[in-house]
Amino acid sequence: MLPPVVSLHSSRSRHWHNGRVPNDLNRRAVPARRPLPDRLRLGVGTVAGDAAALASRLLGKGSGASIRGQVLSTVHPGAFASLVKGRRIASVTGTNGKTTTSHLLAAAIRQGLGSDAARLVTNADGANLHYGIASALAKAPKADIAVLETDERVVADLVAQGSPEVLVMLNFSRDQLDRNHEIKFLARSWREALAKAGEAGPVVVANSDDPLITWAVEKARRVIWVDTPSKWSADAALCPACGSILTRVDPNPDEPQGRWDCPSCELTEHAADYQVREGRIALPEGRVVDPRLKVPGSFNVSNAAAALAAAVELGVSVDDALVGFRTVEAPAGRFATASFGPTSARLLLSKNPAGWAESLPLLGTPTVVLAIDSVAADGKDVSWLWDVDFEQLVGKHVVCTGPRAYDLAVRLEYAEVSHEVILDLADALASVADQPQPIDLISTYTPFQKLLKMAGLR
């Protein structure tokens, strides 16, 4: 049993973590000294990128964040490496939860900074590749603190070129297999980057429940462990160090799967500094806090625990972090309730089996809409549909929509779930206008972006 929730009274108190006073949030980064040619290229590239971003918005193509970064990087190929220097960086990465965790962490830091919140820059729109990160940083040249959502493939470059102060590693699972192929390859790149950085590397906030994350951070200079129980463990059956089948020990009501351990080598689940239990977060000193988030789902409590660990490490008090968390309601449109003519829908984004495993239990309406696509941003391989437990939708009526709706319909047929196919997204939404509002809608990435645009949220 966890101890009772503790009320934290001092919003500006300093918190010790593992016997160490955390960094002072008021400490300013040393500005990077860029040579004149570098400054000129950045200036020209930023102006050209802004023009391209404006054109993108006027043409209805999107926010323009990515195209701004692409143009900037064309004018100045070294823009990413230049712009990440001279800042205090907190990076958030992983297969699922990057965007929400980044928003939570950024909100915590804003709360801690108070009137100095302009010191913070973040890629809030989720553009997390080199281009998107460069785009966000170029727009805030004087911001010395950056919270960066970082694609898994960019982590090694950011560690090498940006020297992040804190690196949050959430989880690893199959995602866009046609692009990322074997996820251990990505984990190895993280491991090698952290080993190469050595004592100059980041403090890592790591999910102790994920064996691949644990293996990837073995070479980090210091790790803060966060235990975030997950509904999905199918991508963590084998030991990433030796290949043996992992075992699960000591199951309990809070951890029905139990702690993981390798019977053939030393890799094992570490004791956690922060623990998520019963919707609350246990802190290193033994206190327990209720995050009272405005975003739903137990997985978001896990995201908040990781964000809290990172915020405290940067010098934000626990109270300030929690107050900041409660300002986050619909990060980049996730969990927003949007209107589409006579239909309103609560929007959930899920991109892979692990994400769907967390999202499906949140569906509370008798009729739900599931939108599926398979272009580059979604991943062209949709075989993962067969790994999702759609059987839990028995008793609901599902409207399948999007270009790969028939693939989903076949899976639902085998799951004996009542469904119909309406390929056009707008038509699918119109078809459920007579149902209790709002209806629940889960979408992969590309239809989700279309939904945001249709609802005027992007």
Residue 74 Cα distances to 58, 338, 376, 443, angstroms: 22, 37, 22, 33
Which letter does DSSP use for residue 3 in this model? P
Residues flagged as binding site: 239, 242, 262, 265
CA geometry: angle 432, 436, 439, nearest 5 deg = 60
Which letter does DSSP use for residue 364 in this model? -
Residues flagged as binding site for Zn(2+): 239, 242, 262, 265
User: Of these residues, 24, 178, 254, 381, which one is catalytic?
Assistant: 381
SS3 content of the chain, % helix, strand, coil (to 5): 40, 15, 45
Q: Do 191 and 219 contact (CB within 8 A), yes or no?
A: yes
The verdict on whether 381 is a catalytic residue reads yes
Peptide bond into 331 cis (omega under 30): no
CA geometry: angle 243, 249, 252, nearest 5 deg = 140
Q: Do 334 and 347 contact (CB within 8 A), yes or no?
A: yes
CA distance linking residue 369 with residue 432, whole number of Å: 9
CA distance linking residue 458 with residue 330, whole number of Å: 12
Residue 4 Cα distances to 208, 227, 267, 288, 392, angstroms: 24, 19, 33, 7, 33
CA distance linking residue 79 with residue 73, whole number of Å: 6
Residues 117-144, buried b or exposed e (16+ Cβ, 10 A)? eebbbbbbbbbbbbbbbbbbbbbbeebb
H or E element at residue 206: strand 203-207
Tell me the HSE value of 132 on the side-chain side, using a 13 A CA sphere: 17
CA distance linking residue 421 with residue 310, whole number of Å: 44
Catalytic residue numbers?
A: 381
